[in-house]
Amino acid sequence: MANRNARQGSNNRQEKGVPPASGPSNTKPHEASIMIMGATGSGKSTFINLLSGSKLKASDRLASCTQHIELASSFELDGHRVILIDTPGFDDTDRSDAEIFKVIAAFLEAHYKSGVKLHGIIYLHRITDNRIGGVSKRAFTVFQKLCGGDALKNTIFATTMWNKVTPEEAETRERELRTNDQFLKPALEKGAHLVRHHNTKESAQSIIRRLLGNTPLPLAIQHELVELGKPFHTTEAGREISRGIEELVQKHAKDIEALQAEIAESMRTKDKRAILELKVEQRETKAALKKTRKEAKNLTPDFRKQRLTATKLLSRGMKSPRGKNEAGGWC
């Protein structure tokens, strides 16, 4: 009888034009997986430690201490078992954003295949940044491509470090983030949220609570990698990264040409000091060009090794005793 009713319910949904649920789903009741993303030094590890009691090492603004994906110790909040997923920071001195996004994408693919969907993503951004450079703008754009239009309503942009600047300065920067088409305005128009984090446990909990009632949704990158079987570099996020790399390659090439012209002019005027300085700058620009071209090549190979490691981490992390799983990581 129960089976017949279930079949009838399914038929009724099809008759009414309601599409069947797609994609794997093993998300347990009252369990919430939330990913934390952002630039190096934006406060990701500190945010996670406040909530979970973990001891993830906080980074400075140059090098990220989180070199791999980490599952923090789970914690209870409003009847939910919350698992926070820490990610490497963007704008890192040691790793390119392209490499970091690829690592995150590989994890998200494995996470989706395990049958667990994210309740949401929290993207932390320093309000202290007096100007948003090209790296941050590109990261915002790639992040939106990674999420896709539907899942953006399950994302929160949380600004940090409000105590480091005057209220007037912070509010001006917040307004720019909210209203500028190059920053967060497109995401906010699709349902994303912009909030303030005041570096207290209560503030962090209030941000998490905004996500606990969400219906977990697959991200665009998960749909593309798993359901459509696309290689990473052909996904919307991957193509956006490729565009950014190509723009950088062209910029470096033009800079090298311009420097060569300046060197020629300095040689004509016999300005030895200028020649030395320009040659150093040209050498550095050539090295940057070589590095950027290498990034472009590294986008194409798959991430078989990361997939295997991620699957093992998820299997170990998700099966840990309630509220007592050890933080783990993978590169």
Half-sphere exposure of 310 (CA within 13 A, CB side): 23
Query: Can you state the angle between helices 97-113 and 236-268, rounded to 10 degrees?
Result: 170
Q: Which superfamily is assigned to 24-230 in CATH?
A: P-loop containing nucleotide triphosphate hydrolases (3.40.50.300)
Contact between residue 300 and residue 97 where contact means Cβ atoms under 8 Å apart: no
pLDDT in tens, 271-316: 999 999 999 999 999 999 999 998 888 877 766 666 666 677 676 6
Count of Cβ atoms closer than 10 Å to residue 78 Cβ = 12
Take residue 225 and report the two structure tokens written for it.
């990698």
Q: What is the DSSP letter of 33?
A: E
pLDDT at 274: 95
Take residue 17 and report the two structure tokens written for it.
């034009």
Spans of the chain, pLDDT less than 70: 1-29, 55-67, 131-135, 302-310, 313, 315-331
pLDDT at 94: 74
pLDDT in tens, 31-52: 899 999 999 889 998 999 999 9
Cα(207)–Cα(79) distance, rounded to whole angstroms? Answer: 16
Q: What is the pTM of this model?
A: 0.80
- 167: helix, strand or coil: helix
Q: What is the DSSP letter of 234?
A: G
Query: Residue type at 240?
Result: E
